[in-house]
Amino acid sequence: MNKLTEEETRVIINKGTEAPFVGEYTDHFVEGVYACRQCDTTLYTAQDKFHSGCGWPSFDDEVKGTVRRILDADGRRVEIVCANCSGHLGHVFEGERFTEKNTRHCVNSISLTFKES
């Protein structure tokens, strides 16, 4: 496991949310892969990233088997976590019609690292 900063811990471990439109990967569109900041598991590819205008990085698919979905305690949203280390990534939404896959993983930039290919 990687050592996390106080802010990374607030989001990844304590299930916080970074402010919209401030994350380093919100408007980042470069070929490569996005990995979990806590454990380095590859979660998303650049091919699945799209601009949703929501203020956080958006993906319409994950690397198979790497992201787990958990219903929030309020029953309204579905949290997404790294399947390897359970680090909080953000939330997933369906039915918004942003892409043909009709899915949006709304991910905190601070939960990710990027590896260019």
> Does any domain span residue 1?
no
CATH code (residue 88): 2.170.150.20
- Between the CA of residue 11 and those of 6, 8, 37, 64, what are the distances in Å? 9, 5, 11, 23
> Does any domain span residue 15?
yes
Q: Give the global pTM.
A: 0.95
Give the residue numbers annotated as catalytic, written as ranges: 106
pLDDT in tens, 8-54: 999 999 999 999 999 999 999 999 999 999 999 999 999 999 999 99
pLDDT in tens, 46-85: 999 999 999 999 999 999 999 999 998 888 899 999 999 9
> Does any domain span residue 56?
yes
Residue pair 34/114 in contact (Cβ under 8 Å)? The answer is: yes
Nearest-5° Cα angle at 13, 8 to 15: 95
Domain count, the chain: 1
What is the residue range of 85's domain? 6-116
